[in-house]
């Protein structure tokens, strides 16, 4: 192909026509981010110009460098998820003291080991296959029949169905919608500039989780291992641990998957990667999904509390300080979307954390991503180009997302 080129990460170039699509993709990603956090997002992104580590009064020590961020996440002696400004301040009043989000040391390791059986490759395939088929099976037929599909609504239905499986609810349409709305109402309370929820917000969150936990508690007590709570009992978790785990997975998993899947498809469509994403082999799909995770950074920030006096980069921190890892800057600054170029080891998988707190639910999230892509693949295999025909960004949400993303099967795709 001839024409001018635009440099990307070391070792690769984007042809000028592809560069246009890449610019379009990043314009939309900026809109998604700014709609969610119109003040905090540009402020966080601007801080990296002041240095890789910056102390910001009222917010904390902000880390915008991937290698430094990884050092903090791996150093559990000095930096913890329990303490002032940590995730524990947000979630312990809601979920109790014994969930992975707010534990450290041997207790955390023991609970993580007990839960790991739920997230083996076989377990997540079985859970996803048993729950999302009814939601996704008609996706390609509807598109091939000329209908438009809102991928955000479709992904929300899938995530809600998984919530039902996690809590023991029968996945009726009403139950799926109610579960999704309930989870979103709790996650939407969190703001980066606030270190804890208000008493009224805690009461609301507890009431929501109590409603969602009723069937989970019953399923746990029945010991039915066809349900997730029943399997938790079989794995040796106490009822309190099982209910805390259910609540944590509901709150942390729903918004992330609903945000990422539509953004993945939009990013791939804008950059000309969508046909390859849907028809390529597993290795190519894996590279494209991982690269989209890096660009979208579905966990835009991570929090740690300083346990003992230390340095973060060149900044001196003391016990009780708050560290804000700006995951969006750490990941985005590694370069533009380019699945053909290897990701720096410092950045790889950083959006899921690092060390003992690496996201336990990652295999389930990836299984859901694969389920949606598998459901869309027949459109591409039929020689039809899958197109984004309309989209709108979500405002005032914790995890940046599209409010709607309309897809249609267009004309036959060109030669691959």
Secondary structure (3-state) at 411: strand
Nearest to 77 by CA among 98, 100, 99, 105: 105
| Enclosing H/E stretch for 304 | strand 302-306
- For residue 55, the cross-strand partners are 61
Place of tokens 């524990």: 88
Span 67-94, average pLDDT: 88
Asked if residues 149 and 143 have their Cβ atoms less than 8 Å apart, the reply is yes
Say if residue 401 is exposed, middle or buried (CB neighbours under 10 Å; 0-12, 13-18, 19+).
buried
User: What does the chain come to in residues?
Assistant: 416
pLDDT at residue 15 greater than cutoff 60: no
- For residue 403, the cross-strand partners are none
pLDDT at residue 251 greater than cutoff 70: yes
Q: Cα–Cα–Cα angle for 87, 93, 95, nearest 5°?
A: 80
Structure tokens at 15: 């042809």
- For residue 323, the cross-strand partners are 61, 304
Asked if residues 245 and 116 have their Cβ atoms less than 8 Å apart, the reply is no
Q: Mind listing the pLDDT tens digit for each residue in 184-200? A: 777 777 766 677 778 88
Please give the share of the chain, as a percent, with pLDDT higher than 90.
48
Q: Count Cα neighbours of 79 within 13 Å in the Cβ-side half-sphere.
A: 24
Span 292-306, average pLDDT: 92
Name the domain count of the chain. Answer: 1
Most confident stretch, 201-205, 340-344, 388-392 = 388-392
CATH of residue 355:
1.10.630.10
Structure tokens at 362: 């990652």
Secondary structure (3-state) at 254: helix
Those residues with Cβ within 8 angstroms of residue 389's Cβ, 6 or more apart along the chain or in another chain: 148, 406, 407, 408
- For residue 80, the cross-strand partners are 305
pLDDT score, position 192: 64
Those residues with Cβ within 8 angstroms of residue 297's Cβ, 6 or more apart along the chain or in another chain: 327, 328, 330, 331, 332, 351
Please give the share of the chain, as a percent, with pLDDT higher than 70.
94
* CA 162 – CA 249 distance, rounded (Å): 10
Where in the sequence is the domain holding 239, given as residue range(s)? 5-412
Per mean pLDDT, which range of 93-107, 126-140, 371-385 is the poorest? 93-107
Per mean pLDDT, which range of 5-9, 252-256, 356-360 is the poorest? 5-9
Span 309-322, average pLDDT: 95
Place 223 in a pLDDT band, splitting at 50, 70 and 90. confident
**Terminal-residue alpha carbon distance, the chain:** 15
Nearest to 406 by CA among 384, 394, 390: 390
């Amino acid at each position: 192909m001839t024409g001018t080129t635009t440099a990307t990460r070391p070792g690769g170039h984007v042809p000028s026509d592809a560069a246009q699509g890449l610019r379009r993709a990043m314009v939309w990603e900026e809109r998604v981010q700014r709609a969610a956090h119109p003040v905090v997002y540009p402020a966080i992104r601007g801080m990296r110009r002041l240095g890789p580590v910056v102390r910001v009064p009222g917010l904390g020590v902000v880390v915008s460098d991937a290698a430094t961020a990884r050092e903090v996440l791996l150093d559990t002696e000095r930096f913890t998820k329990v303490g002032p400004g940590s995730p524990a301040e947000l979630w312990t009043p809601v979920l109790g003291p014994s969930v992975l989000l707010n534990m450290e040391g041997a207790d955390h390791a023991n609970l993580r080991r007990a839960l790991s059986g739920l997230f083996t490759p076989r377990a997540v395939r079985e859970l996803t296959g048993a729950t999302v088929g009814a939601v996704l099976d008609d996706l390609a037929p509807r598109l091939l029949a000329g209908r438009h599909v809102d991928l955000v609504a479709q992904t929300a239905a899938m995530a809600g169905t998984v919530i039902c499986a996690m809590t023991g609810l029968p996945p009726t349409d009403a139950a799926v919608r109610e579960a999704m709305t309930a989870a979103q109402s709790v996650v939407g309370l969190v703001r980066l500039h606030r270190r804890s929820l208000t008493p009224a917000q805690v009461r609301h969150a507890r009431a929501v989780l109590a409603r969602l936990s009723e069937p989970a508690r019953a399923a746990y007590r029945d010991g039915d291992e066809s349900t997730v709570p029943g399997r938790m009992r079989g794995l040796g978790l106490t009822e309190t641990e099982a209910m805390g785990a259910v609540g944590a997975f509901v709150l942390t998993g729903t918004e992330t998957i609903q945000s990422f899947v539509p953004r993945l498809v939009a990013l791939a469509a804008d950059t000309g990667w969508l046909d390859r994403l849907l028809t390529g082999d597993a290795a190519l799909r894996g590279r494209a999904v991982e690269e989209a995770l890096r660009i979208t950074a579905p966990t835009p920030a991570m929090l740690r509390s300083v346990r003992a006096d230390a340095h973060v980069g060149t900044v001196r921190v003391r016990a009780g300080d708050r560290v804000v890892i700006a995951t969006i800057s750490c990941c985005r600054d590694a370069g533009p979307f380019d699945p053909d170029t290897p990701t720096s080891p410092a950045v790889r998988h950083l959006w899921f954390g690092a060390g003992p707190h690496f996201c336990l639910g990652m295999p389930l999230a990836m299984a859901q991503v694969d389920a949606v892509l598998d459901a869309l693949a027949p459109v591409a295999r039929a020689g039809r180009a899958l197109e984004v025909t309309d989209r709108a960004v979500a405002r005032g949400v914790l995890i940046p997302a599209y409010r709607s993303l309309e897809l249609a099967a267009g004309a036959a795709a060109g030669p691959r």
